[in-house]
Amino acid sequence: MTTDLDHAPVVLASDGTPASEGALRFAVQECGVRGAGLVIVHVNPMAVPVPPLRPVLPIGPLPVTRPTLPSEFSVHARRVLDRTEHEARELAPDLSVSTCLLDGRRVRAIVDAAADAQLVVVGRETRYGLERVRTGSTTAGVASAAPCPVIVVPGDWQPREGSGEDRTVVVGIRRVEGALT
């Protein structure tokens, strides 16, 4: 019996940092285990439209301009995707790999890209303190909103030798006032 999941891809969200390297290796291995293709997505957050400024005092209309995406950001985003695709093809030359450059808010874009996926793989974030408060947690946001399972992989993850039959899964569950969260 075949299901839609038999043909659904594995989605890898890559930001091009070393934190994504283990996620790439894991996603490629999962594609082999599942017989799935790989879709690599990179979100360019610099393309998020900025709302126009509104004056606090009634001083009359102000000219409103929206910033545009500098071409350097687009070039960097494309390089991230090209490099990640190249590394995926080196790991598994016969793997079906496609890329998708997305604009907008990181969590929403990744969740939308996962609409037809069987699995989303993301790297473990290493931001701490004020930077994490300011930018939010992509992994937590994706894990809470994705329509499919989400795997968070540390940057130094390496595949183990063997058939994959002895894989360990760790799940974290917290109970708050009688409800699972």
Q: What is the pLDDT of residues 25-60, one digit of tens each?
A: 999 999 999 999 999 999 987 655 555 555 555 555
Mean pLDDT score across all residues of the chain: 79
Residue 14 structure tokens: 């890559």
Q: pTM for the complete prediction?
A: 0.74
For 44, the 3-state DSSP assignment is: strand
Q: Is the pLDDT at 2 greater than 50, yes or no?
A: no
- Beta carbons of 117 and 11 less than 8 angstroms apart: yes
In this structure, which topology does domain 7-49+69-180 adopt according to CATH?
A: Rossmann fold (3.40.50)
Q: Characterize 100-132 residue by residue with b for buried, 16 or more Cβ atoms within 10 angstroms of its Cβ, and e for exposed.
A: ebbbebbbebbbebbeebbbbbbbebeeeeeee
Q: What is the pLDDT of residues 90-124, one digit of tens each?
A: 999 999 999 999 988 899 999 999 999 999 999 98
Q: Is the pLDDT at 169 greater than 50, yes or no?
A: yes
Percentage of residues in the chain having pLDDT higher than 90: 46
pLDDT class for 161, splitting at 50, 70, 90?
confident
Q: Where are the domains of the chain?
A: 7-49+69-180
The helix (run of H) or strand (run of E) holding residue 71 is helix 71-91
pLDDT of residue 137: 80
